[in-house]
Amino acid sequence: MGLWFLVFSSFPGAQAETISDDAGREVEIPSPCERIVSLSPATTEIVFSLSLGEKLVGVTTYCNYPEEAKKKEKVGTINEIGLEKVVELQPDLVLASSLTPPNVVERLESLGITVFVLDPHNISEVIEGIEKVAIISGAENKGKELKEAMEEEVREVRDKVSHLSPEERPTVFHLLWHDPLWTAGKDTFVNEFITIAGGQNAFADLSGYVIVDLEELIRRNPDIITVVEDHGEEGSLSYQFLLSDSRLKVVNAIQNHKVFPVDSDIVSRSSARVVDAVRIFASIIHPEIFGEYEYQS
């Protein structure tokens, strides 16, 4: 029966129930939530993906997707939350992330405000988190529908590359920033995106987000390079670095014009758009299967 029945069956007429969040806390949920404050872009996207935008009364200044999110009341940045503003909005649920300062969570709880923390580390955990938000917000049907759609999207990509041999799976270097060189190793969303999409992470032997030497990048000689593009004025600096540094001209990805910008919001947020990220990497790594990749800023 899955998560839905393990947590609780339905809200109508229900007494307070508890559900575990990603911080290992047992959170008491008295009834379907009607006023939600989101303290991260990812949780904001989750709320909208569940068609609960009308219940969202407050977000951070970084919450820019979808467009409707920009119109919501702002409660501060991800790291600096205005507690008074949150309280003023009278939420019955605050969605937090691993980046939310612990003292903010503690203070809100001391004021009697329910706080639910999401901290997924892979696509399966993202989907599980979406399910939980759907349950505590009274959107079970939409949650099930979204879960099935996301799982089918990932399954479809996996199936299309399942026949590929290791030699047919290009090595991919993902650049987060160029000074110094930050990349994603194993145990990251990016590594999962690359693997599902039929590629091999050039730095899969390292764990987490790490700094690597330029010489090591050249030695590993990736077939493809993806580079994070932000929306600010410095968004293309890393991309320009890759194309202009003469030392990198020997790298296969540079020589074969296989350097691709990717939207940082899509590939870094643990929301329903993780399936979009999988599709992006699939098109970059195997355009012969998924069609040519087109970057949209």
Residue at 17 is within a domain: yes
Residues 23 and 91 grouped into a single domain: yes
Per-residue model confidence (pLDDT) at position 233? 47
Residues 275 and 250 grouped into a single domain: yes
Residues 7 and 149 grouped into a single domain: yes
Q: What is the CATH number of the domain that holds 199?
A: 3.40.50.1980
pTM of the predicted model over 0.85: yes
Domain around 244 = 164-290
**What mean pLDDT do residues 186-210 have?**
98
Residue at 296 is within a domain: no
Question: Who has greater pLDDT, 65 or 7?
Answer: 65
Residue at 297 is within a domain: no
Residues 141 and 66 grouped into a single domain: yes
Residues 98 and 236 grouped into a single domain: no
Residue at 158 is within a domain: no
Per-residue model confidence (pLDDT) at position 265? 95
Residue at 295 is within a domain: no
The percent of residues above 90 in pLDDT, for the chain, comes to 88
Report how many domains make up the chain.
2
Counting beta carbons within 10 angstroms of the beta carbon of residue 173, is it exposed (0 to 12), middle (13 to 18) or buried (19 or more)?
buried
Residues 174 and 284 grouped into a single domain: yes
Long-range Cβ contact pairs of 79-85 (< 8 A, separation 24 or more): 81/39, 83/107, 83/108, 85/58
Among 26-35, 41-50, 239-248, top mean pLDDT goes to 41-50
Residues 91 and 117 grouped into a single domain: yes
Residues 192 and 79 grouped into a single domain: no
pLDDT, tens digit, 9 for 90 and up, residues 158-176? 999 999 999 999 999 999 9
**What mean pLDDT do residues 230-244 have?**
77
Structure tokens at 53: 């935008």
Residues 181 and 279 grouped into a single domain: yes
pLDDT, tens digit, 9 for 90 and up, residues 126-147? 999 999 999 999 999 999 999 9
